[in-house]
Amino acid sequence: MLIISTKEGDNLKRHWMVSHRKEEGLTQDELAKLLGISRSYYTQIENGTHNPSGALALKMSNFFDVEMSKFFYVECCDTQTLKEVK
């Protein structure tokens, strides 16, 4: 049997953004400044509590080298932990 579960408060976090930002050696504050937004707003986007505007999604998609649509839908395996239960 397969159960899909999420950690409290972690269900919409964009983990791929965190990984990519860290690979680039940037803090949230540094990347927010490059994008022309506040760290607080960037954090909300990274945590999945807010979506970027279309213009910001375009800037971010160029930085992260992803399609803009990636900011507007939730991917199962990015946001949920799959556990096998016997």
Secondary structure in 3-state letters for 54-86: HHHHHHHHHHHCCCHHHHCCCCHHHHCEEEECC
For residue 29, pLDDT beyond 80: yes
For residue 18, pLDDT beyond 80: yes
pLDDT in tens, 32-52: 999 999 999 999 999 988 889
Residue with structure tokens 């395996």? 77
For residue 56, pLDDT beyond 80: yes
Q: What CATH number has the domain bearing residue 25?
A: 1.10.260.40
Give residue 36's domain range. 2-84
Tell me how many domains the chain contains.
Answer: 1
For residue 8, pLDDT beyond 90: no
